[in-house]
Structure 1
Amino acid sequence: MGEILSIDEVMKRASQQALTINSTNDEVDGGLVDDPRYEPEPCPYCGRMLKHKAYSLFGRLFGSHLEQCDCPGAVAKRERLYQEQLKRQQEEELRQRMRKIERLFDQSRLGKRFRDRTFEAFEIRDYNRKAFEIALDYAQNFGRYKEKGEGLFITGGYGVGKTHLAAAITNYLIQNLKGTVIFGNVTTLLGRLRFAYSDDSEYEETQILKELYDVDLLVIDDLGKEKPTPWVEEKLYNVINERYENYKPIIVTSNLGVEEIEKRLETCGGAIVSRIIEMCRGVKIMGADYRKEKIK
């Protein structure tokens, strides 16, 4: 949005502009002049008679307006109108921001459950404090990490907060309009791609792949949990390699270590793991499953 100017400032700038034009062009008339076409009117606050003014250019009058009074009542009214205009603009900017955030959430495919997985809602413990600090720093300084194509590879057992941290980064980036994100496990990320081959799909394979290639941050949750068919491995490798070659960061979470992932993904596991190691900073969380603690 442009700069908001008070009415006084608008008139001051317009007058200065008219005088500047007049000083640089001898054929231009006297700039801001009294407009004889209208009778003076009293100020509703102090009663002072106010003249109508217009801009004189080449013998013609343009932009006729009543001059402004500088009495306290008139000044207060102009300030009130300015503040009302400013409030309307701020409200509209907020509406536009919220609409954009909602579109980003729709694009991210982040499930409703994970929209509550924020940094504020994360339960910090001794064993996950370092991982929390790394994830928060990554979100707050995403622009720097994005430029380098650097991501995170978060590993650990069940229920230690890996997915929560990945979702918290996603939520932070979207809420603060820091970038576009797509979040999902391999099955959901490639599910739309598989559906593209059906007659009912409204998207082509190239469109879906382009999304996965171009999004600012791709979050692959629970890598190694999917059924490792050759087709899945090939497409997963294509996506990761495309992002690797173009410095597009990824975040990967997994219950498995790199050697276990490599063994599980028999066809392309070595190449996939090699790319992840080069692209991502390793973050390991060692702790108990907090879900089990809740039912004790």
Structure 2
Amino acid sequence: MNKSSEKPKQPEKLGVDEYECPICKDTELVLKRDEQGYEIASFCECRERKAWKRRFKQALIPDEFIHANFENYKRLNPFQQTMYQMTVDYLNEFSVLKQEDGTKKKIIPNKNFGLIAVFGEQRLKELPIGERSIVKQQHNNFGIGKTHLQIALAKRLIKDGFNVLIVSDVTFMDELIQAKMMNDEGETLNRLLHSAIHADVLVWDDIGKAKWSEAKEALYYQIINERYRKQKPIVFNSNEDRGTLSEKIGYAAASRLIGQCGPYLLEVEGEDFRLQKSG
């Protein structure tokens, strides 16, 4: 057969079953004609569902907490009930109001929400080895459900339309330091900082866990201070107490972080549920 007579292959078209939404064919827009015959575009009913999926993916929820929610958080003792109630109270500070023009207005509290230790990990490490186990039993802050509750909070906010970013302290600070050292004119660092500073809500897991350095202290301050200036909330938990957290992230950053909590700062301790499960 003469090659010149061969018909060029046409690009394959997706069938109806191959679209996630057969109504708008994944464009999230539906065209309708008005009474005068003009085509008018309107949002498809799938738009909000897909937006929720995008927000959920962008939040970077850790794999081990992908199933964490309020319903499966176990309140076995008074301190867990107190943590749960404070988290729910904080959630109620958020709302989305539908305005007359059909747009939605987000109501975001200018308060941070923190769950911290009574007796910090750094303070524990400074004790003589023989005293550590005894003090840890008296003031345990590990495995009590701080992260579970705050991830549950994040999920609910994402579902309600808020943009949430979740970061784990050690990984996040390492990424920032590595980006700072990259030879890309600060592009990667600025992208990471922009996400952390401009998210509706920043959930900072285990803040103060990373090994201290002057460069990290400067980054803590930059992010926390910018969010403080913009009145954007930080939801955080830490295995450090008020004093040791200040030593780990810097006194200026800690002052803004903790000082912005108002009534939403709780010093917690109790039994490690991870040890109970392995027992």
CA distance in 1, matches of 2:258, 2:214: 21
* Residue of 213, 219, 223 corresponding to 2:207: 223
CA distance in 1, matches of 2:230, 2:243: 25
**RMSD of aligned Cα (Å):** 3.0
Alignment of 1:38-187 (within 5 A): 92-93=44-45, 95-125=46-76, 126-143=78-95, 147-156=108-117, 157-177=141-161, 179-187=162-170
Change (3 A) 1:192 1:133: same
CA distance in 1, matches of 2:204, 2:56: 16
Gaps of 5+ in 2: 1-27, 97-105, 118-140
Residue of structure 1 equivalent to 2:177: 194
| Percent of aligned positions that are identical | 27
Q: Which of 1 and 2 has higher RCO (CA within 8 Å, sep 6+)?
A: 2
Deviation at 1:284, TM superposition (A): 2.4
Deviations 1:74-106 (A, max 9, x none): xxxxxxxxxxxxxxx99x52x323321221122
* Residue of 275, 278, 281 corresponding to 2:256: 275
Change (3 A) 1:246 1:154: same
Matched, 1:214 2:198: yes
Deviations 1:42-95 (A, max 9, x none): xxxxxxxxxxxxxxxxxxxx98xxxxxxxxxxxxxxxxxxxxxxxxx99x52x3
Gaps of 5+ in 1: 3-9, 15-61, 64-88
CA distance in 1, matches of 2:107, 2:256: 16
- Contact 1:195-1:201 at 8 Å conserved across structures: no
SS at match of 1:284: strand
Tell which deviates more after alignment, 184-193 or 116-125.
184-193
Residue of structure 2 equivalent to 1:284: 267
Greater fraction of residues in helix: 1
Deviation at 1:203, TM superposition (A): 4.4
Change (3 A) 1:98 1:282: same
Deviation at 1:282, TM superposition (A): 0.9
- Contact 2:93-2:109 at 8 Å conserved across structures: no
CA distance in 2, matches of 1:195, 1:231: 11
CA distance in 1, matches of 2:150, 2:185: 29
Residue of structure 2 equivalent to 1:261: 245
- Contact 2:87-2:153 at 8 Å conserved across structures: yes
Deviations 1:111-159 (A, max 9, x none): 2222211111111122210110110122233249964410111024001
